[in-house]
Structure 1
């Protein structure tokens, strides 16, 4: 199973389990995660949610080959279902990042309430390098935590950055040795699961209420541009270059 879900002590753990492809996410995986989040919301025994990847890799982002075969079009595309589900989740979400997080592997963390990472983890947001624009409302959320210039550097250049910089930027709570991060994140999720669900729900709602409309609007606009850009010549050149293991040539485009 490329997405594993399990319930333990009030925590639903959602594990990206495709290590042979560096946990690159397909449409089917997005659908499974979206359905899991909907199930978690309806299941009163689930009081907290934990996202985790594999040792050394959280997620390499979207599976480009899968995206090329079936570009996400329309609000009911699995990726957009997943983004709506994670951004509107009422229950607390914890993330354990034990390795590399690329693209949506990083942007989904902006929707988590607590993020714990290995001190050896690294992150990147290479959307512009792929001829695309960011998604998951990251153009809004990243600059809220990192400031405009900090977000611009990461989103425009798309260059990798390490866990220490991610913590300084403000979207990682704590760094731990790689061998300890999953257990620590799960223990934090268990703490949340033991607290009054209504208190957590109301507190999270109050913190997010003012920005929810803006977030939905931004996510919808990003999704519209992303879908169009995915079919544009720049993205085609970027993907072709990726598969041919060469640098793309964007000078041919205005």
Structure 2
């Protein structure tokens, strides 16, 4: 299974389990995660959720081959189901990042309540490098957390940055040795699970309510642009260059 969904008492864990492909996410994986998140919201016995990857790699983002074979068309595409589910999750979300997080591997963290990372983890948002635009409302959320200039640098240049910088930007709570991250994230989730569910639910609602409409609007607008750009010449050049293992040439486009 490329996604493992497991229960430990009242904590649900959703784990990327495709290390041979650097935990790159396929449409089927998005569907599994979306279904797990939706089911967890309706299950009173689930009191906290952990999302984790593998030591050395959290997720390389979208599986480009699968992405091109099954482009996300329409709001019912698995990736959009997942993004709606994670952005609307009412239960505490704890992320354990013990390795590299690329693209959506980073943007999904902006929807988590707690993010714990290995001190060796790296993050990148290479959308512009692929001829695309941000997704998962990251064009809104990242600048709210880190400020406009920091967000612009990460979203426009798309260059990788380290865990210390991610913590300074504000979307990583704490850094730990890679071998300790998963256990620490689970410990935090268990603490949350022991607290009154209603208190956590209302606290999260109050913290997120003001931004919910704007978040949904931003996510929808990003998706419209993303779908158009996915079919544009720049993206085709970026993907061809990726598969041909060469540097793309964007100077040929206006």
- The question of a shared fold, defined as TM-score above 0.5 by the shorter chain, is answered with yes
2:31 — aligned with what?
Answer: 31
> Equivalent residue of 2:178, what SS?
coil
- C-alpha distance in structure 2 between counterparts of 1:54 and 1:117, whole Å: 12
Tell me which moved more, 3-12 or 126-135: 3-12
Map 1:1-254; keep pairs closer than 5 Å: 1-254=1-254
- C-alpha distance in structure 1 between counterparts of 2:70 and 2:39, whole Å: 26
Stretches of structure 2 that go unaligned for 5 or more consecutive residues are none
* Matched-pair contact (CA < 8 Å) for 1:9–1:193: no
CA shift at 1:227, angstroms? 1.0
Q: How many residues align?
A: 254
Structure 1 consecutive aligned stretches of length 4 or more whose deviation exceeds 3 Å: none
Superposition TM-score, scaled by structure 1 size: 0.99
* Matched-pair contact (CA < 8 Å) for 1:234–1:250: yes
> Equivalent residue of 1:179, what SS?
helix
- C-alpha distance in structure 1 between counterparts of 2:220 and 2:4, whole Å: 28
> Equivalent residue of 1:195, what SS?
coil
Q: CA RMSD in A?
A: 0.4
- C-alpha distance in structure 1 between counterparts of 2:81 and 2:70, whole Å: 15
Superposition TM-score, scaled by structure 2 size: 0.99
- C-alpha distance in structure 2 between counterparts of 1:227 and 1:97, whole Å: 28
- C-alpha distance in structure 2 between counterparts of 1:65 and 1:232, whole Å: 17
Stretches of structure 1 that go unaligned for 5 or more consecutive residues are none
* Matched-pair contact (CA < 8 Å) for 1:26–1:63: yes
